[in-house]
Amino acid sequence: MLYEGNNVMKLRHYSLLITFIIVIGIYLTQINVCAATQQAENGQFNGLTLDVARRYYQPDTIKSFISQVAQNRGRFVQLHLSDAQSFAIENDTVGQTLANATQTNGVWRNNKTHQAFYSKSQIADLVTFAKQKHITLIPEVDTPAHIDGMIKTMRANHQTQQINQLTYKNKSYGREFHLSNASITFVKQLDNEVAQSFSGQADMHFHLGGDEFTDQTKSNKPYITYLNALAKNIQAQGFIPEAWNDGYMSRALNQYDKHIQITYWNWTADEKGAPGKERQKAWATMPELIHHGFKVFNYNDYYLYFNLSQKNIKSRNVAYMTNDMKQNWDPTIWDNDNDSSLNSLHNIVGSSVSIWADKDAHSKINDKQILTASQKFLSQFLQLARQPI
């Protein structure tokens, strides 16, 4: 009986051991599947950023861009809604209302500032169209700088007291929000109203801005507090927050909300000489951000910016830009045309081509010309962006 009892005990031990091995095997398989899935997802959320603040596009043109992105297996179109020239969306918070505007040939214009903007109804229609194409439409409300267009709108709506309380004139970057609790409260309200128009999508992102606002080369605690508060607020609405890389200082990386995904466009915000070298010492690199656990987007302004002008839309110039990008860029190339130490897509969520309207020269170019000129550049980019490294 004792012998038989020992055998039973041994069988039980073997059974437990086999069960344990099976469970561990399943667990390790799940880990490998998750890792493989994560690796497959890295670099796949790619798209187009459109500067609709400094150039008004007809809604049908934006739909054409959405269709182009979808046809080339892209995932998003980002709308840069605010800048020095205009605030391009209906918004009660800043007084951009249809009651204070006139619609002519489908275009809404503020009666006092004459800025063209998109109504909430037009945005809703664009979001519906984008969802049909499985494209995420991302709003960008750029603060604390690039707000002169917004200020014009507020001033036209007699919000002068708020302007004086919340903003100041930065000698380098124009009007900016103070990095204060009052500004945080106001911008939260502003962002929430915009977010309502872009809700109900898959993969919802909201770009909080944060470019070209500072000459800081030391830890900027007020900005960190400001950005983290806005990020927390927009996350509560179901959006993934994004921000430009300008405000990320190497020495303070443990203080930023890690849920913010960083759109990396330039190491020094194009500052040259001694100021540029100071920024290189202080501002975080894209590899550094990845190493600290941040997720990033590659917005390399050397290869991926399409700046509108009569010269740049000429077919030979578009061909040169497209071939240069094809031969020399991949999602790890983040610092102008310099080589990169990155050798994988780890924590690179995706990349974006950007069509900017910085110069007045774009005003003589029509929407169809821009669609045609950028088509090959955009399709080549979206092909490059999703390739494995």
pLDDT of residue 199: 98
pLDDT of residue 219: 86
The residue-averaged pLDDT of 206-213 equals 97
* pLDDT at residue 16 tops 70: no
* pLDDT at residue 70 tops 80: yes
- pLDDT band, residue 5 (cuts 50/70/90): low
Residue of 90, 140, 212, 242 with catalytic role = 212
pLDDT of residue 20: 52
* pLDDT at residue 284 tops 70: yes
CA-to-CA separations, 313 to 148, 301, 316, 342, 368, in angstroms, rounded: 28, 17, 8, 32, 11
Q: Cβ contacts of residue 261 below 8 Å, gap of 6+?
A: 205, 240, 241, 242, 243, 294, 295, 296, 297, 349
Provide the token pair at 55: 């150039």
What b-and-e string marks burial along 152-171, b requiring 16 or more CB atoms within 10 Å of the CB? bbbbbbebeebbeebbeeee
* pLDDT at residue 23 tops 90: no
Which among 267, 383, 269, 270 is positioned nearest to 331, based on CA atoms? 383
Is the peptide bond prior to 222 cis by the omega test (within 30 degrees of 0)? Answer: no
The residue-averaged pLDDT of 21-33 equals 41
pLDDT of residue 41: 78
- pLDDT band, residue 339 (cuts 50/70/90): very high
Which among 328, 321, 334 is positioned nearest to 268, based on CA atoms? 334
Cα-based torsion angle of the residue sequence 206, 309, 87, 107 in order, rounded to the nearest 10 degrees: -110
- pLDDT band, residue 216 (cuts 50/70/90): confident
The CA distance from 379 to 373, in Å, is 11
pLDDT of residue 325: 98
Active site residue 176: no
> Which residue has tokens 């493989």?
36
Q: Each residue of 265-277: pLDDT tens digit?
A: 999 999 999 999 9
- pLDDT band, residue 120 (cuts 50/70/90): very high
Per CATH, the number for 47-385 is 3.20.20.80
* pLDDT at residue 13 tops 60: no
- For 215, list phi and psi in degrees, rounded to 5: -105, 10
* pLDDT at residue 36 tops 60: no
* pLDDT at residue 68 tops 70: yes
pLDDT of residue 12: 57
Segments making up each domain of the chain, as ranges: 1-41, 47-385
- pLDDT band, residue 364 (cuts 50/70/90): confident
Which among 145, 161, 143, 139 is positioned nearest to 95, based on CA atoms? 161
The residue-averaged pLDDT of 354-378 equals 92
Q: Report the chain's mean pLDDT, rounded to a whole number.
A: 92
Q: Of all residues in the chain, what percent carry a pLDDT higher than 90?
A: 85
Amino acid identity of 9? M
The residue-averaged pLDDT of 328-338 equals 96
The CA distance from 320 to 186, in Å, is 45
